[in-house]
C-alpha cells in the first residue's frame, strides 16, 4: 500500500511518484537478538563488522516514531533499547562499537554516539506505545542527560532527544538544560548572507544543527530566536537545491570559500534535512517547509542529480550513497534508517 505524494516540478520533469510506506523488512534482516548490524554487502549482512551504538540509536528513533507499530517493530525497539542500556556506563557515557563476539572494542565516551543514544532514548521515552519502553528509556536518558560533549554534532543529536522528552514532559529540567546547552554549543549564525552558518565547514547531518536551534527557540524560555534556526535551515535548503532537486553536501563536506563537490551524497544528509523541514513546518505552519520534506522523499525515489532510485523495493533497503556513476548498491543500517526516517514524514503530507 502506498501514499501518493506530489514532488515539486523541475524544469525537465513534472513527475509524480508514489512514496511507499516505510517498511522494516530490511531493518529486521540487519538485526539479531543483540542489536543492529552496521554493514551489508548489497542486502546481505556483514556480521564481521559488528554493531555500533550510532545505528542502534537511530533504529530506536524510527521504531519509536511509528504511530501504529506492528509487534515486530515493537520487538525491534525493545531490542535496541536493551542494547543502549547495555552500552551505557554508570556515569551516562556510552560505548559505540560491539564486535560480533559481543565484546566492546572501545571505551565509553561522549562522541556522536552518545548524542544519538540520547536522541533514541528521548524519542522512545516520548513516543513509544509500550509503557515499559517509555519508562526504561527515560531512566537511561536521565543518566546520559547529565553529561555534556564539546562537539556541536554530538550536542545536536542529544538536543533532539531532549526536545522529544520535553514534548511529553514539559517540566523536565534536565532535558531543558540539555537542549539549551546544545543550542549554545551549536552557536549563533553569522550575519553574512552568503554563509550564515555558525561553523566554517558543513560536514554531515548539518540540518540537525538548525533543527535543534529551531526546537530550542520553542521549548526553552531562554532559547535562541526562532529566526536563527530558520535562517540556518533556509540557507542550507537553498544551497542544496539544484534545478528544483535536492543535491546535498557530499561526504567530503564543504568548507567556506572552497569548491563544493557533488559526490558522494549520503542518505543521512537527506534524512536530517527531512527531519528539520518537518519540524520547521510544524512550528511555523509554512507550507514551503513541506516542500522540503517532499524534496527529501524525492531524492530517494529518483529526483536527484543522477535521476536514479536510492532504495531497493525488493528488500526495503536504502542504498549507501549516490556516486557520479549511480548508487552504491550496499544496503547498510545507516542508509536504510535514513530511508525509513524520510518515508515516515511522507505520510503526513500525502
Q: What is the pLDDT of residues 18-35, one digit of tens each?
A: 799 999 999 999 999 999
Task: Please report the pLDDT score of residue 349 as a whole number.
Answer: 66
> For 348, which DSSP code?
T
Ranges of residues in the chain with a pLDDT under 70 are: 1-17, 349-350
Beta bridge partners of 10: 13
Cβ-Cβ contacts under 8 Å for 216 (sequence gap 6 or more): 159, 163, 179, 180, 182, 183, 223, 224, 229
pLDDT digits (tens, 9 = 90+) for 175-209: 999 999 999 999 999 999 999 999 999 999 999 99
Task: Please report the pLDDT score of residue 220 as a whole number.
Answer: 77
User: How much is the pTM?
Assistant: 0.94
Task: Please report the pLDDT score of residue 15 as a whole number.
Answer: 40
Residue 93: how many other CB atoms lie within 10 Å: 20
CA distance 342 to 340: 6
> Cell numbers 523536565 correspond to what residue?
172
Residue 184: how many other CB atoms lie within 10 Å: 16
What would the grid cell of residue 234 be? Answer: 533556509
What would the grid cell of residue 29 be? Answer: 534482516
Task: Please report the pLDDT score of residue 105 as a whole number.
Answer: 97
Amino acid at each position: 500500500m502506498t501514499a501518493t505524494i506530489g514532488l515539486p516540478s523541475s524544469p525537465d520533469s513534472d513527475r509524480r511518484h508514489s512514496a511507499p510506506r516505510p517498511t522494516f523488512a530490511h531493518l529486521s534482516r540487519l538485526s539479531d537478538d543483540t542489536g543492529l548490524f552496521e554493514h551489508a554487502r548489497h542486502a546481505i549482512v556483514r556480521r564481521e563488522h559488528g554493531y555500533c551504538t550510532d545505528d542502534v540509536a537511530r533504529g530506536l528513533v524510527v521504531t519509536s516514531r511509528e504511530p501504529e507499530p506492528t509487534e515486530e517493530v515493537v520487538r525491534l525497539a525493545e531490542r535496541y533499547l536493551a542494547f543502549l542500556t547495555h552500552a551505557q556506563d554508570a556515569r551516562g557515557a556510552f560505548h559505540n562499537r560491539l564486535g560480533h563476539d559481543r565484546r566492546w572494542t572501545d571505551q565509553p565516551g561522549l562522541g556522536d554516539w552518545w548524542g544519538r543514544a540520547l536522541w533514541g532514548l528521548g524519542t522512545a521515552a516520548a513516543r513509544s506505545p509500550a509503557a515499559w519502553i517509555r519508562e526504561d528509556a527515560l531512566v537511561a536518558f536521565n543518566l546520559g542527560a547529565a553529561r555534556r560533549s564539546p562537539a556541536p554534532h554530538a550536542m545536536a543529536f542529544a538536543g533532539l532527544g531532549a526536545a522529544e522528552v520535553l514534548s511529553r514532559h514539559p517540566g523536565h529540567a534536565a532535558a531543558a538544560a540539555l537542549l539549551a546547552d546544545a543550542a549554545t554549543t551549536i552557536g549563533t549564525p553569522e550575519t553574512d548572507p552568503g554563509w550564515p552558518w555558525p561553523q566554517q565547514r558543513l560536514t554531515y547531518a548539518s540540518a540537525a544543527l538548525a533543527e535543534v536551534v529551531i526546537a530550542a527557540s520553542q521549548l526553552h524560555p531562554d532559547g535562541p530566536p526562532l529566526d536563527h534556526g530558520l535562517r540556518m535551515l533556509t540557507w542550507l535548503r537553498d544551497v542544496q537545491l539544484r534545478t528544483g532537486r535536492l543535491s546535498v553536501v557530499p561526504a567530503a563536506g564543504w568548507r567556506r570559500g572552497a569548491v563544493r563537490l557533488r559526490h558522494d551524497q549520503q542518505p543521512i544528509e537527506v534524512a536530517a534535512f527531512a527531519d528539520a523541514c518537518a519540524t520547521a513546518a510544524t512550528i511555523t505552519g509554512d507550507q514551503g517547509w513541506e516542500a522540503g520534506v517532499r524534496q527529501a522523499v524525492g531524492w530517494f525515489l529518483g529526483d536527484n542529480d543522477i535521476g536514479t532510485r536510492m532504495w531497493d523495493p525488493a528488500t526495503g533497503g536504502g542504498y549507501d550513497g549516490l556516486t557520479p556513476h549511480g548508487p552504491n548498491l550496499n544496503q547498510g543500517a545507516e542508509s536504510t534508517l535514513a530511508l525509513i526516517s524520510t518515508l515516515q514524514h511522507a505520510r503526513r503530507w500525502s
